[in-house]
Structure 1
Amino acid sequence: MSLLEALSGQPFWIAAIISLAVSIVIAIAGIIPSAFVTAANIVLFGFFWGLVLSTLGEALGAVLSFILYRKGLKSLSGKIGSIKGFKLLEKLKGTKGMEAFVLVLVLRLFPFAPSGLVTLAASYSKIGTWAFAASSTIGKIPALLIEAYSVHTVIGWETQYQLAAAIFAAAAGICYYYWTTKRKKRR
């Protein structure tokens, strides 16, 4: 884990800044899972402070990517088609106020809604930056708690069980990729 190696020799505040920067880059990219950063944070900072740092990093990353998406992608809105496959994401694009707040919150709680797509759809909506920041962060907390607890538990496993879990996760990911690719080709 290169992030873990980069952070382990640093003073606390430098390691925290590096972790936040990596979380922000991951959020802006929109497709990279943040579980590895959460794992590194828990190993280095302990469960509580690792969770706090992961929450802060994901919140900052979501807000910054929201702002960047809104500025950059609004000009391309006519060229970018609809977000197919997630009806709630389509609905979010046309909402504002409390409805947009609740929709972002629900989508952040929903484990299979890709974070980058939620942020992208929200950037097209009429939700304000502060409302997005609040609803996105509140919605991320339960997911991060589950992720952090899972990572904390797996870290406590013996190496052979960790390896077996990694192989299973990789196999499941490959199967999912091929299943979705085959499904798209049928359409």
Structure 2
Amino acid sequence: MHFFSEALASSGHLSILVSIVFNILISVLGVIPSAFITAANITVFGFQEGLIVSYLGEIIGAAVSFWIYRKGIQSLQPKFTRNRWIMRLQKSQGFPAFWMILLLRLLPFVPSGVINLAAALSKTSILIFFVATSIGKMPALLIEAYSVNQVLKASNEGKIFLVLLLLIMAVLYYVKRNKNTDL
């Protein structure tokens, strides 16, 4: 996060554009959580302005990654997930695709990159994708921005506790997942 904050702060009047470019890169890569750039936006621009910049960056990033995925990866037709909603999205178009994209955007644990890729591999139009993404990203981003803002305001002890809690949860998830695959 510090890298993003410094890059934005040193960009002067281009800082909003730099933030949007970071969001596009994060969206295209699909593996880096956007919470880092959201935290930097809130730190540099304040909560409300940072939220607006993050929202614009996320929807523009989603649209750009959709377009790139559609142009470059569609011919490969990867089987990247077995989630039934993602698989249904790949086969959908029109109004059903709109609702699936919207609902998937509202779920906090579905990575944005997976939704972008599945939608790009589907028959949905970029307009339907963009509208559903624009609507669905707002509640998810509000929750993310509020959470990030609370972490930024937390004491050092609170941050250490949160990191330890997340590490314990990750270890428990890893152990449970490996235990289920060994059966």
- TM-score in terms of structure 1 length: 0.90
Quick one: structure 1 residues 65 and 166, their matched pair in 2 at CA, closer, same or farther if it must change by over 3 Å? Answer: same
After TM superposition, give the deviation of residue 153 of structure 1 in Å.
1.5
For 1:19, the equivalent position in structure 2 comes to: 19
- Name the aligned partner's letter for residue 74 of structure 1: Q
Structure 1 residues 82 and 47: alpha-carbon distance in aligned structure 2, compared to 1, 3 A threshold: closer
**Residue 21 of structure 1: CA displacement?**
1.0
Q: CA deviation at 1:145?
A: 0.2
For 1:32, what is the secondary structure of its paired residue? coil
Aligned length: 182
Is 2:152 aligned against 1:155? yes
Amino acid at match of 1:127: T
Q: Amino acid of the residue matched to residue 61 of structure 2?
A: G
Q: How does 1:34-73 map to 2 (within 5 A)?
A: 34-73=34-73
CA distance in 1, matches of 2:25, 2:8: 16
RMSD, matched Cα: 1.6
Letter in 2 for 1:35: A
Tell me by how many angstroms 1:37 deviates: 0.6
Deviations 1:111-132 (A, max 9, x none): 1212111111111111110110
Asked if residue 99 in structure 1 is aligned to residue 96 in structure 2, the reply is yes
- Indicate the residue corresponding to 2:11 in structure 1: 10
Structure-1 residue corresponding to 2:117: 120
**Percent identity over the alignment?**
40
Is the CA contact 1:44–1:50 (under 8 Å) kept in the aligned structure 2?
A: yes
TM-superposition CA deviations, 1:16-71 (whole Å, max 9, x none): 11111111111001111110110110011011110001011110111111011111
**Displacement after TM superposition at 1:164 (Å):** 1.8
Q: Does 1:146 align with 2:143?
A: yes
Contact 1:62 1:136 in 2 (8 A): yes
Contact preservation (8 Å) 1:82, 1:90: no
Residue type at the aligned position of 1:89:
I
C-alpha separation in 2, matches of 1:98 and 1:29: 28
Q: TM-score, normalised by structure 2?
A: 0.92
Cα deviation 1:97-153 (Å, max 9, x = unaligned)? 111001100000011212111111111111110110110121011010001111111
Runs of 5+ in structure 2 lacking a partner?
Answer: none
Moved more, 162-171 or 123-132: 162-171
Whole-Å separation in 2 of the counterparts to 1:149 and 1:172: 21
Aligned to 1:81: 79
Aligned CA distance change for structure 1 residues 89 and 40 (closer, same or farther; 3 Å): same
Q: 3-state DSSP class of the match of 1:75? A: helix
Asked whether the 8 Å contact 1:42–1:152 carries over to 2, the reply is: yes
2:17 & 2:80 partners in 1: Cα distance? 36
In structure 1, how many angstroms separate the alpha carbons of the residues matched to 2:115 and 2:94?
16
Q: C-alpha separation between the residues in 2 aligned to 1:180 and 1:22?
A: 32
